[in-house]
Structure 1
Amino acid sequence: MADPVTAAIRNAAKAVVLHDGRVLLQRAHWEGQDCYFLPGGGQEPGEALDATVRREVHEETGQDVTPERLLWLREYIGANHDGAPEDHRVEAIFLCRPEGTLDPLGGHAEDDVQTGLEWVELEKVTGLNLLPQGLRPLIADLAHAELPTRYIGDLA
């Protein structure tokens, strides 16, 4: 009998950085596909989630941001999506505004899969291979109105 797998839930903070009707996205090559992700990443012990999103966005994009509010709380439970049973993530997704002028894009600690950065018009987000796909309509809807904070559940 195999030893049971001990799972740890990983907390992360992601950013929807908006400026002039555009959102800042990471271009990436992941699992054999070209795609986009929101900037952000894992929370460190003792770090508040708003500090996590500030740090991660700066590391990955070079842009300083101010988290304005929590937009969505997302989970990913790998066992529910043909993923590893021990893969369980909880992501706080913040609405963020760039601080000051827009800096030239390029962080000092980009993700391994990151191939670039791009400001994308909100109306074009639904046509992108943005992962997780369930975020596409939510982000695109921000072009019309800011949506209330909500739990969006186990979203792949």
Structure 2
Amino acid sequence: MTEPVIATVRNAAKAVVLHDGRVLLQRARWDGQDCYFLPGGGQHPGEALGATVRREVHEETGLDVTPERLLWLREYIGAHHGGAPEDHRVEAIFLCRPENVPDQLGGQDEDDAQTGLEWVELEKVPGLNLLPQTLRGPIADLAHGAPPTRYLGDIA
């Protein structure tokens, strides 16, 4: 008899850091491809999501940020996308403002897949291999103002 899969839900906070019409993205090499991700990462027990996004962005980019508001809530359920059945993530994606000089980048605790950091003009985001790809349009649309907060659903 097969053992039942015990899924654990991992909460995370991601940042859309905007400055002068550009968004800060992590360049990465992941699953055999060059791509981009939003900075951010896993929530620690007892840590508020706003504190998570501040800590993770600082660790990965060296920037101190202020989370201004929640933009989107995203889930990823691995079993629905060909991934591991126990992989279930919930990501709170915050609009953030940099507090310090945004051109001085470099964190002390970069992700293993991270290959660099880049400020990208919002209108160029739809043409990038940004993962998850569903975020490309909503991020580019921020050039026209912040949309209402919304639940994006289970997206890969």
TM over 0.5: yes
Which residue is 2:24 aligned to? Answer: 24
Percent of aligned positions that are identical: 82
Which residue is 1:147 aligned to? Answer: 147
Question: What is the TM-score with the length of structure 1 in the denominator?
Answer: 0.98
Please give the residue correspondences for 1:50-69 in structure 2 after superposition, counting only pairs within 5 Å.
Answer: 50-69=50-69
Which residue is 2:5 aligned to? Answer: 5
Q: Which runs of 5+ in 1 are unaligned?
A: none
Structure 1 stretch 96-105 or stretch 65-74: which is displaced more? 96-105
Question: What is the TM-score with the length of structure 2 in the denominator?
Answer: 0.98
User: Given the alignment of the two structures, is residue 93 of structure 1 paired with residue 86 of structure 2, yes or no?
Assistant: no
User: What SS is found at the alignment partner of 2:133?
Assistant: coil
In 1, the alpha carbon distance for the partners of 2:131 and 2:64 equals 23
Q: CA deviation at 1:5?
A: 1.4
Q: 1:147 is matched by which residue type in structure 2?
A: P
Which residue is 2:118 aligned to? Answer: 118
User: What SS is found at the alignment partner of 1:3?
Assistant: coil
Q: CA deviation at 1:155?
A: 1.0
Q: Alignment length, in residue pairs?
A: 156
Please give the residue correspondences for 1:72-87 in structure 2 after superposition, counting only pairs within 5 Å.
Answer: 72-87=72-87
Q: 1:97 is matched by which residue type in structure 2?
A: R
In 2, the alpha carbon distance for the partners of 1:149 and 1:34 equals 29
Q: CA deviation at 1:101?
A: 2.5
